[in-house]
């Protein structure tokens, strides 16, 4: 018994010692190499490979294909999607890194430079790390790993794969020349490996020569062994496997597709198909081949490949699209094609794909020149797109583009806006479509204001009897539309239930899918009605008030507050501008809207005729407004560019009605603004001299200097400030008592009562007369309701950039706040620099909206770095008057930080 135990103990001890000895990475004995090969393969490479493959497969299964575009040969995640793969890829990287650290032979940390690697799975683990980084879109790290493999494992087959995956990285980065170089290198490796394989394959055909004795044969055997060892040390190229060849051909085909070299892509893809074993993969490549032949206009070849997909075991969605594409390529007869597509619409299996069928029908309509029918089918396509936002976006975009081509910009904007709501932000055209929607939204908003105010003014111009009659007709029309809408909604619901009943018949009553389950759908419908009431199927269905089709129906009635049944003539009357004040506001709003429409048609849409129409409407209104002069000037510029005789007509109009305006002066003197700017700069220097005298406490000289300007230079830009400065200098001298300083302020109020300086002077006099502490009253006060300005400080060393900054802010206002009546002026706060005053905003909330837009990233294209390079503040109108008086920016900065 004791001997048996002793023997067992001895065996276990020896086995343990062998295992411990095998763990050494510095010996290349068979036991050591075998142990490290096994653990490196199964502990790292196999498990990590499974994690990567399963994660990539899971992503591909969730990926939504766009069959209307050439499918990707290999589906990889984008920046947003890659984050979902991070946990799995990090786990794979960790596993492989541990294997490399523990099983690399010899240990790279011990040997100064490894000349060889005894563990044959280390390079494979490096490759998986690079692959995981690729899926994470960490291309720099992936590139580093693949280049390391090529450099350190030149004899291994992983070198071929590393070159192919390097090419994939460069393709993803759009660096096609680098990708091509890697694929050329991989092709050379493939040829070299093929030659080596061929040489070994036919070695048995070599002549054996005369028969040898056993000693000669033994010597020959030893020599062969020696040569084999030498060859191994020389690292002869390993075999280029079929899987590697397939990956190479696919990558090369992908590169050719990216470069739109479709003939070359077809050649490579056909080679890849011969190397593909999985039938679903083959079907995918056949579909892509069909698409490529479609691009080249080779319909017969395309139809053949689509037919193979139809007869394959591909997923139903791919086979459905293959049917559509086959119909488009194989059948040139539109009647037969429509027949085939209508059959697809009737097939219950295609309920989910009706949007695509209608889209193809619209395409056929357009080929035949039937735009009206195309619009109907595109509208149906958008309506039937339930879970395919890409298709819905395409339908909306097509509708938007068609209406834009037809110059129906109002409708076009609605479709662009709808397109943006469903289009993925990653889409290559997202920014272009979003910008178009935004630019047209300004057109729509201004048109709605113009149309509404025009309708309201037309109503209030009627006699009392005619107005009452018209309002009765409007009320009757609103109620009738509400009744028809209710009936339509009921019919739609009945039709929907009928279709669902048919679907349930096909799919069985026990279907769990939401849209196949009538109880679930009925509950959802009731919940929707509870929240939103009955809604017509249309764009912007969530909005409570939409523009009435008839201009006279656009009354200011909030449909969310007043139900149709409770509407009365009196309620409709409340929305009319019956008072003089309300009518003036209506006319003001309409004038601004008309001018904005003219500018949008002229500058953004290049529609000269429409622009002229709106500018002329402003003049025909014969209503005094600030937009009359700029409208006349725009007409003058348009006619001048055309070389029309009407140019003189508008020139005379401007000079007659606005003789002293800047525009009238500019027409007479093209250098007017340059001269004006020069004079303003001279005025600024003159005012700085006056300020300097005041700062040097030369108050009498200051008063004399101010009087000289006040009496002799009435056009001086800083004239108002001289009155203030004179009053301050008088108060400092003490001459004439406390009231002596009041006289210049009273003169200023008489000259310019509404200017910031005039308001300041009036406040000062009132406070002085009331015996208040003026300094106490001049403290800044926060207010959310007072009118606000935005001021941009221009330091003295950047005064030469003043005009450039003003132009950029003006361009920003034209793009973002066109029609808000925002003005830009430059003024002086103190001798250290000027400010640009952007005014004015009704309250803090509106000023904050402007400031947020001013500092937004999209605005940088217009403002460059103004928001970051210059100091700016929001300030109330009264506080700005105080700032002009105190000239203490540091004090206001403290107040601003505490209150804003």
In this predicted model, what pLDDT tens digit does every residue of 706-759 receive, in sequence order? 999 999 998 898 899 999 899 889 888 877 766 788 889 888 888 888 887 888
Q: Answer whether 105's CB lies under 8 Å from 119's CB.
A: yes
Q: Answer whether 295's CB lies under 8 Å from 70's CB.
A: yes
Q: Answer whether 876's CB lies under 8 Å from 788's CB.
A: yes
For residue 570, the tally of other CB atoms under 10 A from its CB is 8
User: ω into residue 106 within 30 of 0, thus cis?
Assistant: yes
Give start and end residues of each alpha helix (H) in 508-579.
518-532, 569-574
- The reported pLDDT for the residue numbered 47 is 80
CATH T-level topology, domain 159-196+237-269: 1.25.40
> What tokens were used for 265?
């892509």
- The reported pLDDT for the residue numbered 171 is 95
> What tokens were used for 179?
């990708």
- The reported pLDDT for the residue numbered 108 is 53
Place 358 in a pLDDT band, splitting at 50, 70 and 90. very high
Reference 809, options 792, 794, 797; nearest CA is 792
DSSP letter, residue 112: S
Lowest mean pLDDT among 246-250, 255-259, 575-579: 575-579
Per-residue pLDDT for 774 more than 80? no
- The reported pLDDT for the residue numbered 142 is 93
> Coil, strand or helix: which one is 734?
coil
Q: Say yes or no: do domains 580-668 and 781-900 share a fold.
A: no
| Separation CA 634–CA 288 (nearest Å) | 54
- The reported pLDDT for the residue numbered 480 is 80
Place 545 in a pLDDT band, splitting at 50, 70 and 90. very low
DSSP letter, residue 71: P
In this predicted model, what pLDDT tens digit does every residue of 458-473 receive, in sequence order? 888 888 888 888 888 8
Residue 214 phi/psi, 5-degree rounding, is: -65, -30
For residue 34, the tally of other CB atoms under 10 A from its CB is 12
Mean pLDDT for 131-146 is: 93
Place 352 in a pLDDT band, splitting at 50, 70 and 90. confident
What sign has the CA pseudo-torsion 191, 197, 199, 202? negative
Beta bridge partners, 789, equal 875
Give start and end residues of each alpha helix (H) in 553-607.
569-574, 580-599
Lowest mean pLDDT among 70-79, 726-735, 882-891: 882-891
Q: Answer whether 856's CB lies under 8 Å from 810's CB.
A: no
DSSP letter, residue 416: H
Best CATH choice for the domain 580-668 from the list 1.10.3470, 2.40.160, 1.10.287, 1.25.40: 1.25.40
781-900 domain in CATH 3.30.70? yes
In this predicted model, what pLDDT tens digit does every residue of 829-885 receive, in sequence order? 766 678 889 988 888 888 888 887 887 766 766 777 787 778 889 999 888 888 877
Reference 442, options 553, 592, 629, 544; nearest CA is 592
Mean pLDDT for 509-529 is: 44
Check residues 659 and 540 and name the one with the higher pLDDT: 659
Give start and end residues of each alpha helix (H) in 713-857.
719-733, 742-751, 756-769, 774-777, 802-816, 844-854
Q: Answer whether 808's CB lies under 8 Å from 867's CB.
A: no
Edge-to-edge, what's the strand order for the sheet holding 833-841?
823-830, 833-841, 788-795, 872-876
Query: Which residue is it, tokens 């980065």?
Result: 173
Mean pLDDT for 46-57 is: 84
Place 209 in a pLDDT band, splitting at 50, 70 and 90. low
User: ω into residue 840 within 30 of 0, thus cis?
Assistant: yes
Per-residue pLDDT for 267 more than 60? yes
In this predicted model, what pLDDT tens digit does every residue of 29-38 receive, in sequence order? 444 445 545 5
Q: Answer whether 790's CB lies under 8 Å from 854's CB.
A: yes
Helix axes 672-695, 699-712, angle to 10 degrees: 160
Q: Full-prediction pTM beyond 0.85?
A: no
- Every domain of the chain and the residues it spans: 1-156, 159-196+237-269, 276-330, 462-574, 580-668, 781-900
């Amino acid at each position: 018994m004791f001997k048996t135990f002793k023997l067992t103990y001895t065996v276990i001890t020896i086995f343990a010692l062998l295992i411990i000895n095998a763990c050494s990475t510095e010996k290349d004995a068979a036991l050591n190499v075998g142990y490290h090969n096994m653990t490196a393969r199964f502990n790292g490479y196999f498990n990590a490979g499974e994690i990567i493959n399963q994660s990539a497969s899971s992503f591909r299964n969730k990926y939504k294909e766009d069959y209307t575009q050439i499918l990707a040969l290999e589906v990889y995640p984008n920046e947003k999607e890659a984050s979902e793969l991070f946990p799995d890829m990090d786990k794979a990287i960790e596993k492989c890194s541990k294997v490399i650290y523990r099983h690399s032979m010899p240990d790279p940390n011990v040997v100064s430079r490894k000349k060889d690697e005894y563990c044959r799975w280390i390079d494979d683990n490096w490759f998986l790390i690079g692959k995981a980084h690729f899926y994470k879109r960490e291309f720099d790290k992936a590139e580093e790993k693949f280049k390391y493999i090529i450099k350190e494992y030149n004899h291994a087959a992983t070198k071929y794969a590393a070159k192919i995956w390097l090419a994939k990285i460069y393709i993803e980065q759009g660096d096609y020349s680098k990708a091509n170089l890697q694929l050329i290198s991989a092709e050379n490796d493939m040829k070299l490996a093929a030659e080596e394989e061929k040489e070994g394959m036919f070695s048995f055909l070599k002549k054996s020569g005369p028969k040898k004795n056993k000693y000669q044969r033994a010597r020959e055997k030893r020599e062969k062994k020696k040569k084999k060892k030498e060859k191994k040390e020389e690292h002869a190229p390993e075999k280029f496997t079929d899987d590697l060849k397939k990956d190479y051909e696919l990558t090369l085909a992908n590169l050719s597709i990216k470069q739109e070299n479709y003939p070359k892509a077809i050649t490579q893809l056909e080679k890849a198909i011969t190397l593909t074993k999985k039938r679903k993969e083959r079907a995918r490549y056949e579909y892509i081949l069909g698409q490529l032949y479609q691009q080249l206009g080779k319909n017969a070849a395309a139809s053949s490949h689509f037919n193979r997909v139809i007869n394959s075991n591909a997923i139903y969605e791919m086979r459905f699209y293959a049917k559509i594409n086959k119909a488009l390529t194989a059948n040139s007869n539109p009647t037969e094609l429509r027949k085939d597509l209508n059959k697809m619409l009737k097939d219950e299996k295609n309920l989910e794909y009706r949007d695509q069928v209608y889209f193809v029908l619209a395409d056929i309509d357009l080929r035949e020149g039937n735009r009206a029918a195309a619009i109907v089918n595109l509208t149906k396509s958008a309506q039937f797109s339930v879970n395919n936002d890409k298709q819905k976006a395409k339908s909306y975009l097509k509708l938007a583009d068609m209406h834009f081509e037809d110059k129906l910009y109002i409708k076009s904007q609605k479709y662009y806006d709808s397109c943006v709501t469903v289009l993925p932000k990653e889409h290559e055209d997202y920014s272009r479509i979003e910008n178009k929607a935004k630019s047209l939204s300004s057109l729509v908003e201004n048109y709605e204001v113009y149309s509404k105010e025009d309708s309201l003014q037309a109503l209030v111009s009627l006699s009392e009897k005619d107005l009452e009659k018209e309002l009765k007709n409007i009320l009757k029309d609103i109620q009738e539309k509400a009744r028809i809408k209710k009936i339509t909604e009921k019919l739609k619901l009945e039709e929907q239930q009928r279709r669902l009943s048919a679907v349930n018949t096909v799919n069985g009553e026990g279907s769990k899918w939401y849209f196949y389950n009538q109880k679930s759908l009925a509950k959802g419908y009731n919940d929707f009605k509870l929240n939103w009431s009955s809604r017509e199927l249309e764009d912007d269905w969530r909005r409570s008030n939409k523009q009435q089709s008839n201009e006279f129906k656009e009354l200011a009635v909030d449909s969310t507050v007043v139900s149709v049944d409770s509407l009365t003539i009196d309620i409709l009357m409340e929305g009319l501008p019956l008072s003089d004040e309300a009518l003036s506001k209506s006319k003001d709003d309409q004038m601004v809207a008309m001018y904005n429409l003219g500018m949008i048609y002229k500058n953004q849409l290049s529609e000269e005729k429409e622009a002229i129409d709106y500018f002329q409407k402003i003049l025909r209104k014969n209503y005094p407004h600030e937009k009359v002069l700029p409208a006349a000037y725009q007409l003058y510029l348009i006619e001048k560019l055309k070389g029309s005789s009407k140019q003189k007509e508008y020139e005379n109009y401007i000079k007659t009605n606005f003789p002293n305006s800047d525009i009238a002066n500019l027409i007479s003197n093209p250098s007017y603004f340059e001269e004006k700017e020069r004079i303003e700069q001279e005025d600024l220097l003159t005012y700085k001299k006056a300020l300097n005298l005041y700062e040097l406490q030369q108050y009498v000289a200051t008063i004399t200097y101010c009087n000289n300007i006040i009496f002799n230079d009435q056009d001086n830009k800083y004239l108002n400030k001289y009155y203030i400065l004179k009053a301050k200098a008088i108060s400092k001298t003490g001459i004439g008592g406390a009231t002596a300083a009041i006289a210049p302020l009273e003169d200023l109020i008489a000259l310019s009562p509404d200017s910031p300086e005039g308001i300041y002077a009036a406040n000062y006099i009132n406070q002085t007369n009331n015996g208040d502490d003026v300094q106490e009253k001049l403290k800044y006060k926060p207010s959310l309701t007072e009118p606000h300005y935005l001021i941009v400080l221009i330091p003295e060393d950047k005064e030469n950039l003043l005009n450039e900054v003003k132009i950029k802010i003006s361009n920003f206002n034209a793009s973002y706040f066109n029609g808000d009546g925002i003005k830009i002026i430059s003024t002086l706060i103190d001798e250290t620099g000027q400010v640009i005053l952007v005014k004015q905003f009704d309250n803090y909330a509106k000023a904050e909206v402007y400031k947020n837009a001013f500092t937004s990233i999209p605005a940088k294209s217009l403002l460059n770095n103004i928001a970051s390079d210059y100091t700016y503040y929001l300030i109330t109108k009264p506080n700005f008057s105080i700032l002009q008086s105190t000239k203490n920016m540091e004090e206001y900065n403290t107040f601003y930080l505490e209150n804003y």
